[in-house]
């Protein structure tokens, strides 16, 4: 375990140094982007090592796996969890409680179900709206690459924003996995501009942009990411 803790620290230091470089290049504040450690398909031992290395906030992709990990670490109240993966409406009950932030709300149906499940709670659930920024057929998220898609997106987003038990605080996007990170700059730029357009259109003040992973986070930071989702670059290969 000590060796794993130190390895995680070393990898995290390299990622953080790259984050500082990217922020400086873009003229952004160093603390303008938060690193979310993705623990999808990582062992309990690896997550415990990450905790010992100083991490306290983790992102999970699969509802069942996430719930199991929340239960395992429930005696450690300083640990916080975020849901970043696709959520089927029938599994909304698994994610309606226990997460500080849900990144992947991609339909009014899902949002409405989470809202109903949170009836009686004291605080609204913070959520991000997932956008399919490269219009990929095999990925989830709202399509905004056509007039019809944009119209549906705006209509549903306005309805989601009215749900009393949810609070929309930004957007999330996952561009294609490419060898050249620079190739994804166009998608990160598009998501940032969409956020700006939505704020102007609705008179909102959404701040969060969840975009960028282990392969392209520096470009994402340069284009305005406030949350980057890093897994294997720090924790190593998944199980």
Residues with Cβ within 8 Å of 121's Cβ and at least 6 positions away in sequence, in order, are 97, 165
Q: Which domain holds residue 178?
A: 2-235
Answer yes or no: are the C-beta atoms of 163 and 111 closer than 8 Å: yes
- Give how many domains the chain has, as a whole number: 1
Q: Tell me the CATH number at 66.
A: 3.20.20.10
Note down pLDDT in tens along the chain; length 239 residues: 669 999 999 999 999 999 999 999 999 999 999 999 999 999 999 999 999 999 999 999 999 999 999 999 999 989 999 999 999 999 999 999 999 999 999 999 999 999 999 999 999 999 999 999 999 988 999 999 999 999 999 999 999 999 999 999 999 999 998 889 999 999 999 999 999 999 999 999 999 999 999 999 999 999 999 999 999 999 998 87
| CA dist., res. 110 & res. 166, Å (int) | 11
Name the helix (H) or strand (E) containing 130: strand 125-131
């Amino acid at each position: 375990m000590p060796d794993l803790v130190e390895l995680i620290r070393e990898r995290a230091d390299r990622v953080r140094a790259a984050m500082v470089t990217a922020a400086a290049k873009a003229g952004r504040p160093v603390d303008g982007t938060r690193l979310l450690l993705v623990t999808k398909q990582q062992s309990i031992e690896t997550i415990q090592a990450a905790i010992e290395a100083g991490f306290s906030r983790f992102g999970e992709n699969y509802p069942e796996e996430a719930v199991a990990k929340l239960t395992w670490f429930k005696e450690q109240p300083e640990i916080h969890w975020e849901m970043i993966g696709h959520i089927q409406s029938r599994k909304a009950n698994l994610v309606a409680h226990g997460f500080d932030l849900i990144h992947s709300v991609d339909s009014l149906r899902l949002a409405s179900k989470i809202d109903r499940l949170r009836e009686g709670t004291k605080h609204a659930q913070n959520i991000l709206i997932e956008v399919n920024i490269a219009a990929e057929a095999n990925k989830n998220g709202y399509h905004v690459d056509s007039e019809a898609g944009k119209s549906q997106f705006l209509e549903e987003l306005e309805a989601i924003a009215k749900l009393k038990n949810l609070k929309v605080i930004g957007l999330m996007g996952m561009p294609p996995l490419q060898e050249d990170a620079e190739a994804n700059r166009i998608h990160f730029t598009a998501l940032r501009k969409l956020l700006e357009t939505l704020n102007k259109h609705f008179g909102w003040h959404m701040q969060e942009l969840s975009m960028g992973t282990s392969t392209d986070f520096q470009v994402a930071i340069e284009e305005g990411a406030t949350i980057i989702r890093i897994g294997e670059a720090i924790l190593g290969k998944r199980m």
